[in-house]
Chain A
Amino acid sequence: MPATVEELPLAKALTAGLRAAMAADDRVVLMGEDIGTLGGVFRITEGLQAEFGTKRVFDTPLAESGIVGTAIGLAMRGYRPVCEIQFDGFIYPAFDQITSQLAKLTNRTSGSLHMPVVIRVPYGGHIGAVEHHQESPEAYFAHTAGLRVVSPSTPNDAYWMIQEAIASDDPVMFFEPKSRYWPKGPVDFASSAVPLHTTRVVRTGTDVTLIAHGAMVATLLQAAQVAADEGVSVEVLDLRSLSPIDFGPIISSVEKTGRLVVCQEAPGFVSVGSEIAATIAERAFYSLQAPVLRVSGFDTPYPSSKVESFYLPDADRVLEAIDRSLRY
């Protein structure tokens, strides 16, 4: 009997998830820049064109609005396109097609059209890149009704969540934490998928709750370990879905700990973290022992790579926020 659990990097778990989705439904097509022969600049689609052919995995001209706009047309024809946007900072040319068309077509057509389109976006910093290659633009899309926004933090989630995103009849923005592409983790090919829009408890604790998505989840686990060594019991939640947000587990955790620190690489102003802070203040007010704190990227343009470590929240900044929360 073949092993059902395999150690894979998140990048290869995504490849496996895409392969499974394509095998399950021949209407699934992959499109984007350099995704064919090259297998994508991060090799996420490596081997898939050879396996499924150029009609199902194809290179597009270098135009992001064109990629998303034509994906909409393909969806109108009954296909389920999965678009790769090469880097986070290159998504803006497609912003109009995503927010004014893709997100609104189901509503505009009173439900006669569905838009099962997935837009994969490698995002976030820590990779020493040049400008436009390290951004966290997820809030723009979480703000738009009609889109679903998710981000896996582990290889296992990457494998399952990409398949759930492709199976969704709604458009899904799929943010891939590119700094976590390479570390390996277990992928359980036999388990069933956790529902896409669920927050997950990844470490239990009693003194303070930390929550993040994508690459920041690993940072929180580091911080939680250090805090544990200092005698502070930290609960860590993986948000997984940025829109809609599954608030139930967050509220339950805050009812237990009374303290919440929300963490993200993205700038803090009008961010997903802001939404969590506001909602927890509204719905768990009497459970809170301290104000909800945010640990975010700064509200500046993303800096040059040699100073990005000062911009990105690290475990020390998370620990500083834990200390502040505990002082209330």
Chain B
Amino acid sequence: MAEKSPTVQFLSIDGEFAPNEAAEEYLPYLDELGDDDHRQFYRDMAITRRFDEECTNLQRQGHMGLWPPSHGQEAAQIGSGRAARPQDVLFPTYREHGVALVRGVDILDIVRVMRGTSLGGWDATDPKNNNFRNYTLVIGSQTLHATGYAMGVGLDGLVGTGDVEADTAVLTFFGDGSTSQGDVSEAFVFAASNQTPQVFFLQNNHWAISVPVSTQSRIPLYLRAQGFGIPSVQIDGNDVLASYAATRRHLDEARSGQGPAMIEALTYRIGAHTTSDDPSRYQTPEQLAYWVARDPIKRFEAFLRSRGADDAFFAEAAVEANDFAADLRHGTLALQVPPLSSIFENVYAEPHPVTAEQRAWLDAYELSLREGA
């Protein structure tokens, strides 16, 4: 007797709408989506793929210090990002470019971080960034920040009031490598203990730089959370509908006071870990081919075509993505180097004698060099 697949999937790898048994309970969450939403998902994914490629090129051309590509993970990111409500708060890793896009963050602000003109890039408290917090580079650290934030939402009483505009959930992104970090386990412990309004969204892209997920875990990662008392589910992370429906449901449940949940999205990092990496040293061509055949964008294109999208739509989406990338390239090359004095700014919130003295010293020193010349 064949075992039921535990992995929620709506779209076959050929893009046919064929929900499996695990997906059935998530079907109602797709009802609220119409053709316009589906097309928006496609355009989001196409733009993300295109600007990610542009950023990789910009790094190769010496215009950026580093770029961590998101190629291959677009469905996981767009589905989950689009599932969050406006008041929800999102804590990303440093690879959530697609989520940033759909939350309204200027991608140029991400480029500023990677080009080296800013440490944080964007103001997460500015309403225009729709509660998309800053990238965190130490692996797994942000899971604790997210959990603490969700504890604060609970203290504020914004859970389970029934007011869909006010009840708030926290969407926490992390990757397969990070599950080995103590902070991630501690985040699970604190989340379970406090029954936080929180969804842990794991993108298992199968690699922590060069180390395969099998080195991190001998069991499917979604089962980890259950040991902490956190319900969890595995989804096909290259199926944007699965990503949307699962995130939508578990965020709704978190907001309504049902506590934390964890989603493992099975996906694949088609590109390198970062532009400093060479995946050909550890990844076989067969592995790559297997996952290229499961490309999330091609799959969704087939689905859209089956629902009437024509060549004109896809051509238009390609133009939109190209324009976006061209704007990003122009913006990148126009980024200004911050002034020297910025080193000393905001080290502390309140005045501090050491930064003040050192700033004055550097100003005088720079002036003396100019006068000397």
Cross-chain contact A73 with B150 (CB below 8 angstroms)? yes
Q: Is the CB of B145 within 8 A of A72?
A: yes
Q: Is B350 an interface residue (CB 8 A)?
A: yes
Check B186 against A112 for contact (C-beta < 8 Å): no
What 1/0 mask marks residues of chain A from 48 to 83 whose CB sits below 8 Å from any chain B CB?
000000010000110101101111111111110000
Chain A residues, CB < 8 A from B347: 106-107, 145-146
Task: Name the residue on B nearest A167 (C-beta).
Answer: B350
- A111 within 8 A of partner (CB): yes
Q: In the assembly, what is the distance between CA of A106 and CA of B300, in Å?
A: 41
The answer to whether residues A244 and B352 also contact, given A65-B186, A111-B345 and a CB cut-off of 8 A, is yes
Determine if B314 is an interface residue (Cβ-Cβ < 8 Å): no
Stretch from A8-16, A96-104, A177-185, A308-316 forming part of the interface with B: A96-104
Cα distance A116–B349 when bound, in Å?
A: 9
B153 touches A77 (CB 8 A): yes
Q: Which of A63, A110, A148, A170 contacts B120 (CB 8 A)?
A: A110
B189 contacts A by Cβ under 8 Å:
yes
A168 at the interface (CB under 8 A from B): yes
CB–CB A61/B141 < 8 A: no
Q: Which residue of B lies closest to A96 (CB)?
A: B138
Q: Is the CB of B123 within 8 A of A112?
A: yes
In the assembled complex, A234 has its CB within 8 A of some CB on chain B: no
Q: What 0/1 readout, one digit per residue, does chain B (246-273) give for beta carbons within 8 Å of chain A?
A: 0000000000000000000000000000
Report the nearest B residue to A169, measured CB to CB. B349
Cβ-defined contact, A66 with B190, below 8 A: yes
* Proximity string of chain B (346-360) to chain A, C-beta cutoff 8 Å, 1 when within and 0 when not: 111110111100000
Q: Tell me which of B146, B147, B151 has the highest count of chain A C-beta atoms within 10 A of its own C-beta.
A: B151
For the complex, is A108 an interface residue (Cβ under 8 Å from B)?
A: yes
Closest chain B residue, CB of each to CB of A72:
B145
Residue-wise, chain A 178-207 has the 8 Å CB interface mask toward B (1 for contact) of 000000000000000000010000000000
Contact B193 A108 (CB under 8 A): no
On chain B, the residues within 8 Å of A110 by CB distance are 118-120, 123, 345-346
Which residues of chain B from 307 to 357 have any CB-CB distance to chain A below 8 Å in the complex?
A: 345-350, 352-355
Question: B190 contacts A70, CB within 8 Å?
Answer: yes
B373 within 8 A of partner (CB): no
Query: In the complex, are the beta carbons of B138 and A100 less than 8 A apart?
Result: yes
Min CB distance A109 to B, Å, is: 5
Q: Are A73 and B146 in contact (CB under 8 A)?
A: yes
Q: A108-B119, A244-B352 are in contact. Are A77 and B156 (CB under 8 A)?
A: yes
Q: Which of B118, B138, B152 contacts A73 (CB 8 A)?
A: B152
* Contact of A107 with B119 in the complex, beta carbons under 8 Å: yes
Is A133 located at the chain interface by the 8 A CB criterion?
no
- By a CB distance below 8 angstroms, the chain B residues around A115 are 349
Please report the C-alpha to C-alpha distance between residue A115 and residue B147 in the assembled complex, in whole angstroms.
16
> Does B155 lie within 8 Å of A55, measured CB to CB?
yes
Contacts of A70 in B (CB 8 A): 144-145, 147-148, 151, 190
Minimum CB–CB distance for B118 against chain A, Å = 7
Given A73-B149, A76-B145, do A109 and B123 touch, yes or no (CB 8 Å)?
yes
Whether A29 and B118, one on each chain, are in contact in the complex, defined by CB atoms closer than 8 angstroms, is no
**Is B238 close to A, CB under 8 A?**
no
Cβ-defined contact, B190 with A109, below 8 A = no
A63 touches B352 (CB 8 A): no
Give the distance in Å from the alpha carbon of A60 to the alpha carbon of B155 in the complex: 15
Residue of A70, A71, A78, A100 with most partner-chain B CB within 10 A: A70
Cβ of B124 within 8 Å of any chain A Cβ, yes or no, is: yes
Q: Is A114 part of the contact surface with B, judged by Cβ < 8 Å?
A: yes
For residues 95 through 146 of chain B, which have their beta carbon under 8 Å from a beta carbon of chain A? Answer: 118-120, 123-126, 133-134, 136, 138, 141, 143-146
Closest B residue, CB atoms, query A168 = B350
Among A66, A79, A96, which residue has the most Cβ atoms of chain B within 10 A?
Answer: A66
A109 touches B124 (CB 8 A): yes
Tell me whether B349 and A114 are in contact (CB under 8 A): yes
A228 at the interface (CB under 8 A from B): no
How far is it, in angstroms, between the C-alpha of A97 and the C-alpha of B123 when the chains are bound? 21
- A74 to B151, Cβ gap below 8 A? yes
- The contact of B152 among A68, A79, A108, by CB within 8 Å, is A79
Residues of A within 8 A of B151 (CB): 70, 73-74
**Which residues from chain A contact B155 at a C-beta distance below 8 Å?**
29, 55, 74, 77, 79
- Interface pair B125/A113, CB less than 8 Å apart: yes
* A61, B186: Cβ atoms closer than 8 Å: yes
Query: Given the complex, which residues of B lie within 8 Å of A107, measured CB to CB?
Result: 119, 345-347
Known contacts A107-B347, A108-B134, A69 near B141 by CB under 8 Å:
yes
Task: Provide 5 A-B residue pairs closer than 8 Å at the C-beta atoms, listed in order of the A residue.
Answer: A71-B148, A74-B148, A106-B348, A110-B345, A112-B120
Q: Which residues of B contact A (CB under 8 A)?
A: 118-120, 123-126, 133-134, 136, 138, 141, 143-153, 155-156, 182-183, 186-187, 189-190, 193, 345-350, 352-355
With A69-B145, A110-B118, A114-B349 given, name 12 new contacts (CB 8 A).
A60-B190, A66-B189, A66-B190, A70-B144, A76-B145, A77-B149, A77-B152, A96-B141, A97-B141, A109-B120, A111-B346, A148-B348
Q: 5 closest A-B pairs (Cβ-Cβ)? A: A73-B148, A69-B144, A77-B152, A70-B148, A66-B186
